[in-house]
Amino acid sequence: MRADAVRNRERILEAARVEVGLGGTECSLDNVAKRAGVGPGTLYRHFPTRDDLVGALLLGWADEVRTDTDATAGDTWDDVLEWLVRLADHSMLYRGLASTLAAAEADEASPLRTVHAVVLGAMSRLLDRAREAGVVTVPVDADEISRLVAGIAMSAEQANLAAAQVRSMLAIVLNGLTQARPNN
Amino acid sequence: MRADAVRNRERILEAARVEVGLGGTECSLDNVAKRAGVGPGTLYRHFPTRDDLVGALLLGWADEVRTDTDATAGDTWDDVLEWLVRLADHSMLYRGLASTLAAAEADEASPLRTVHAVVLGAMSRLLDRAREAGVVTVPVDADEISRLVAGIAMSAEQANLAAAQVRSMLAIVLNGLTQARPNN
DNA sequence: ACCTGAACACCGTTCAAGT
DNA sequence: ACCTGAACACCGTTCAAGT
C-alpha cells in the first residue's frame, strides 16, 4: 500500500469515529470524507460500503466486549445481570449500532459478521458457565440472548430511556431465563 | 374543506398505504406524492411531517390492536403469550413501524402519541387481568412490556426472524414476568 | 383555499481525468 | 496505484405563481 493511501485510510477512520460518534452509524459519508480531507471517491476505495467502514471502527469494540464477557464468572444472578447491563451499554456506543449488528445476523456476507461472531463466541461460553451455575435453566442459545439485548438497546435508543429502565428490562429477560416455565 | 382537497387527501392516504407497505415507514415521500398524482407541496400541506402521514395510516391499526387486547382474557400463561405474539405481529405490519412507535414514546408532541396511548390503555387493562389471574407476578407496567415487545419486533425485522423465533423470545419475556425473582 | 412544480440543499455513488 | 472532484440520481422541503 502506498504511503499516502495508508495515511488517508487512517484519516478516514479517525474522521469516521468522530462523525459516527456524533450522528450514529447512519451519518453522512460525505461529511466523513470532508472531515478526513479526502474526496468521496477515496472513501469508497478504502471502504466500499458503509458496513465496511463501521466494521473497521468496531474491531476494538468487539475485543472489549469479548474480554469483558470472558472475565465475567456468570455464576450468580446479579453477576449475569451486570454483564447484561454492560453488554447493552456497549451496544449503545453509537446510535444505530444495535440495529446495524442485528441486521448483520441475517446477512451472511456482511463485513460485520466477524465482529458479531466474536461477541457471540464469548456469549456462548458465558452462557455455559451460567447454565452450570444454575442461573440459566431454560433452553436458549447465545443468538437468542443477543437478539433480546439488541432489541432492548434499540428500544432504549428510540425512546431515550434512562439506564435504570434498561436495567429493569434486562432483569425481566434474565428472570425469564432463570425460572422454569409453568405449565398452567 | 374544498372538494378537491378531500379527494387529494384520500388519494395520498391510499398511495401511502401502498408505498409504506412496500418500503416501510421510511419510504420516499416523493414516491407517495407521485403515486397519488399530486405535487409534493400538496402532500406537505395535508401532512406536514412523515409522522402525521404514518399516524393517519395507523388510526384503524390502533383500533384493531385495542379490540384484540380487550378481547383477550389474559388469565392463563398461554393466553397472554398468544396475545404477545399477535401484538408483535401487529408491530411488524410495516417495516420501521415498531421503531417509529418507540420513538413516539419519547416525543410528547408526536402525531403518533394518540395511537400509542390507545394501545397502552388496552395493554394496561390486560395487565391488570393477567396480574389478578397470577400470570404476571412481577412489578411491571404496560410501558415496559410495550418496549420489550417493540424491541423484539425491531430485532426480528432487522434479522429477518421466523415467527417461531419471535414466539420463543416473547415466551422468555413472559416467563420473566411470571416468576418471582430469586435472591441469590 | 388549494394546487403545481420549479428550486434548493443534501447525500450516495460512479468514473474520467489527473499524478 | 491512488486521488480528485465533477457528475448524476434521488430525496426532503419550501415557496412563488397559478386557479
The arithmetic mean of pLDDT across residues B147-161, rounded, is: 98
Residue B175 reports pLDDT greater than 50 = yes
Q: Of B181, B20, B168, B7, whose CA–CA distance to B81 is shortest?
A: B168
Q: For residue A12, what pLDDT is reported?
A: 98
The arithmetic mean of pLDDT across residues A57-78, rounded, is: 98
The arithmetic mean of pLDDT across residues A86-91, rounded, is: 98
Name the band, by pLDDT with cuts 50, 70 and 90, for residue A184: very low
User: Which residues of chain B are within 8 Å of residue A144 when distances are taken between CB atoms?
Assistant: 165, 168-169, 172
d(CA A21, CA B39): 37
Residue A27 reports pLDDT greater than 80 = yes
Q: Write down the pTM of the prediction.
A: 0.96
Beta-carbon pairs below 8 A across chains A and B? 132
User: Which residues of chain A are within 8 Å of residue B171 when distances are taken between CB atoms?
Assistant: 176, 181
* Strand C bases, protein C-beta under 7 A: 1-7, 10-16
Strand C within 7 A of A36 CB: no
The arithmetic mean of pLDDT across residues B125-131, rounded, is: 98
d(CA A20, CA A31): 10
Residue B35 reports pLDDT greater than 60 = yes
The arithmetic mean of pLDDT across residues B38-59, rounded, is: 98
CA angle B45, B48, B51 (to 5 degrees): 140
The arithmetic mean of pLDDT across residues A29-38, rounded, is: 98
CA–C1' gap, A4 and C19, in angstroms: 12
The arithmetic mean of pLDDT across residues B14-29, rounded, is: 98
Residue A181 reports pLDDT greater than 60 = no
Q: For residue A183, what pLDDT is reported?
A: 47
Other residues' Cβ atoms within 10 Å of the Cβ of residue B122? 22
- Indicate yes or no: CB of A76 within 8 angstroms of CB of B150: no
Q: For residue B184, what pLDDT is reported?
A: 43
Residue B85 reports pLDDT greater than 80 = yes
Give tens-digit pLDDT for B99-120: 999 999 999 999 999 999 999 9
User: Which residues of chain B are within 8 Å of residue A106 when distances are taken between CB atoms?
Assistant: 158-160
User: Which residues of chain A are within 8 Å of residue B178 when distances are taken between CB atoms?
Assistant: 179, 182
CA angle B98, B71, B160 (to 5 degrees): 30
Residue B181 reports pLDDT greater than 80 = no
The pLDDT mean for chain B works out to 96
CA–C1' gap, B32 and D10, in angstroms: 14
Q: For residue A61, what pLDDT is reported?
A: 98
The pLDDT mean for chain A works out to 96
Contact A43, A50 (CB under 8 A): no
The arithmetic mean of pLDDT across residues A31-48, rounded, is: 98
Give tens-digit pLDDT for A151-169: 999 999 999 999 999 999 9
Interface test with B, best of A100, A112, A158 (most B CBs within 10 A): A158
d(CA A59, CA A115): 7
Percent of chain A predicted with pLDDT > 70: 97
Give tens-digit pLDDT for A113-124: 999 999 999 999
Name the band, by pLDDT with cuts 50, 70 and 90, for residue A179: confident
Interface test with A, best of B107, B135, B148, B158 (most A CBs within 10 A): B158
3-state secondary structure B8-45: HHHHHHHHHHHHHHHHCCCCCHHHHHHHHCCCHHHHHH
Q: For residue A66, what pLDDT is reported?
A: 98
CA–C1' gap, B98 and C7, in angstroms: 35
* Strand D bases, protein C-beta under 7 A: 1-7, 10-16
The arithmetic mean of pLDDT across residues B69-85, rounded, is: 98
Name the band, by pLDDT with cuts 50, 70 and 90, for residue B1: confident
**C-alpha cell at position A38:** 479526502
- Indicate yes or no: CB of A106 within 8 angstroms of CB of B177: no
CA–C1' gap, A118 and D17, in angstroms: 60
Q: Contacts for A85-90 with beta carbons within 8 Å, 24 or more apart?
A: A85/A163, A85/A166, A85/A167, A85/A170, A87/A149, A88/A149, A88/A152, A88/A153, A88/A156, A88/A166, A88/A170, A90/A61, A90/A64, A90/A65
d(CA B173, CA B100): 22
Q: How far is A89 from chain B (nearest CA, A)?
A: 15
Distance of CA A47 to the CA centre of its chain: 20
